Amino acid sequence: MPHRRNAQQRETLTADFHLPAAGLSAASETLPKSEKSRDYELTYQVIWDFVSISNNLEDIRRSWAKMFGISGSQWLILMAIADLDHGNGVSVSDVSQKIHAVSTFVTTQTKILERLGLITRNVSSVDARVVLMSLSEEARGRIDALTPRWEALHAFIFRDFDAAALHDVKEKLECLKRRTKMAMARVAED
């Protein structure tokens, strides 16, 4: 059973986000009070579930990174490069967008990863202002060695989802990512 919050708690939570306590959209204002309360409690719990999932994934990321002797953020950069690079390297800008980090942070961290022998950084032959990054052979080999464990972990996490369910979840998460980005912009304006 979801934790029930009283009106004062809800008002405090919305005030923390600089949002109007009465509601955010005309759609929510047309709902009966009982549905508004139910929807609020359910969405609030979903948000806490996202926080929990994010924390669990962060702990997993730190564990994988520890095997490489790097930070969780550096591991995330390695995984972004592995995901984005299709043979020609990937730019700092692309990695920054993928992991939602500023490019100066990615540049600093990739220089460290290069010194550790985990990535290569080369100036683009098309645009000398762009640095293209790829995993080093050492990093590829070490990641390949972890593939069976990685696949077992993914199989465990997603074992209750068939392909159709995963596509549905992915579409809904894309929608939530767009809306949370818009919400973030609105909160930043206040």
The pLDDT value recorded for residue 135 is 97
* pTM of the predicted model over 0.75: no
Range 15-39 average pLDDT: 52
Rounded Cα distance, 42 and 38, in Å: 6
Residue scoring higher pLDDT (34 or 99): 99
Q: What is the mean pLDDT of the chain?
A: 84
The CA R_g of the chain, rounded to the nearest whole Å, is 21
Asked if 135 and 143 touch (Cβ cutoff 8 Å), the reply is: yes
Q: Is the pLDDT of residue 50 over 50?
A: yes
Q: What backbone phi and psi angles, to 5 degrees, belong to 148? A: -60, -40
Residue scoring higher pLDDT (7 or 91): 91
The pLDDT value recorded for residue 29 is 53
Rounded Cα distance, 78 and 170, in Å: 23
- The helix-helix angle for 33-68 and 137-157 (nearest 10°) equals 140
Asked if 16 and 8 touch (Cβ cutoff 8 Å), the reply is: no
pLDDT in tens, 54-87: 999 999 999 999 999 999 999 999 999 999 999 9
Asked if 90 and 133 touch (Cβ cutoff 8 Å), the reply is: yes
The pLDDT value recorded for residue 24 is 47
Q: Is the pLDDT of residue 173 over 50?
A: yes
Range 144-166 average pLDDT: 94
Q: Is the pLDDT of residue 116 over 60?
A: yes
